[in-house]
Amino acid sequence: MSSDSDDALEASFIFKEPEDFYPPETPPSFAQHTLLSGQTITLRLVGHNPLWGHLLWNASRITADYLEEHADTLVKDKSVLEFGAGAGLPSLVCAINGAKQVVVTDYPDEDLIENLRHNIEHCTATLDNIVAEGYLWGNPPSNLTSHLPSSAGERSFDLLILADLLFNHSEHRKLVLSMQKTLTRTADAKALVFFSPHRPWLFDKDMAFFDLAREMGFVVEKVLERKMDKAMMVEDRSVRRSVHDVGNEEVKKVVFGYQLGWEGLQ
C-alpha cells in the first residue's frame, strides 16, 4: 500500500466520529397562553437555544396581558415592532387586537425566525397584519420599516416591545440605538420594556438601561410590578449557586414594567 493510501486511511480513523458522537438536537416544545378574552394561544418554542428562544418568559406573558388591557390606546390601529421576540407572544396579541401592522423580530438565526413564522401561521386567528424578520440590534432598520406604508415622513413605529432583554447588559446601547431609529417622534409613541431580574445581584446593571435611555433622549415611567408564582432561571456559568441566591428567589419572580417615550413630547 502506498504512503498516500496509508495517510488517507489513518485520517479516516482520526476524523470520522461515531454516529452517536454528537448529542441529538433538542426537539421543539410547546407552551400555551390564555388571553384575557379566554382564548388560548399555543406557541411552538425552538429546541434549546443559546439565545434563550426555547422558553416563554414571565415578562413576555405579562407584556401580553398588559397589551390586551391597554389595547385601545396602545395597540389598535398602531404599527408595532418587537425586538428579541422569542416565540412572539406579545406581537401575536397585538396582531389579534387590531394593530395596523406588526413586525416581530429576533436575532437572524434561521431556526428562530422560522419558528416565529410558524407561530404566526398556526395562530388560532388568521393574521395578515404581522410579519417576522431577523434583526441585529443597532443596525439600520430598513428591512423592518419596509413593511410600513410610505409617507411624506420617515417610516417608523408607534409602539416598540422589549420583553425580558435587559439581562443582555453589553447590548443596552445597541437596543437604545434601535429604539431611536424606529420609534415615531410623536407624543403618543411608546416603548414597553418589561423584565425580571434573573440575576438579582446584577439588578443595578439591568436598571442601567433606563439611565442610558434617559441620556439618549427618552423619558421613563414605571407602569407595573407584578409577582409571578415561579421564577424563571437564566443559567450564568460564571456564578455558582451560593449565598447570593438564597435571599433572591422571590425577587426573580417579579416582572417590572416600564414605558418610555420621547423627552419633550409628553
201 assigned binding-site residue: no
Q: Is 145 left (phi over 0), alpha (psi -120 to 50) or beta?
A: alpha
Using the Cα atoms of residue 103, residue 108, residue 114 and residue 115 in order, give the sign of their dihedral: negative
CA neighbor of 92 nearest in space, from 72, 67, 59: 67
b/e per residue 209-241 (b: at least 16 CB within 10 A) = bbeebeeebbebeeebebeeeebbeeeeeeeee
Cα Rg for the chain, rounded, in angstroms? 21
262 assigned ligand-binding residue: no
State yes or no: 86 annotated in a binding site: yes
203 grid coordinates = 439588578
CB 95 within 8 A of CB 130: yes
CA 59 to chain centre: 10
264 labelled binding-site residue = no
Torsion angle (degrees, nearest 10) of CA 163, 87, 202, 252: 90
- Which residues are documented as binding site for S-adenosyl-L-methionine? 57, 84-86, 106, 137, 163
- Which residues are documented as binding site? 57, 84-86, 106, 137, 163
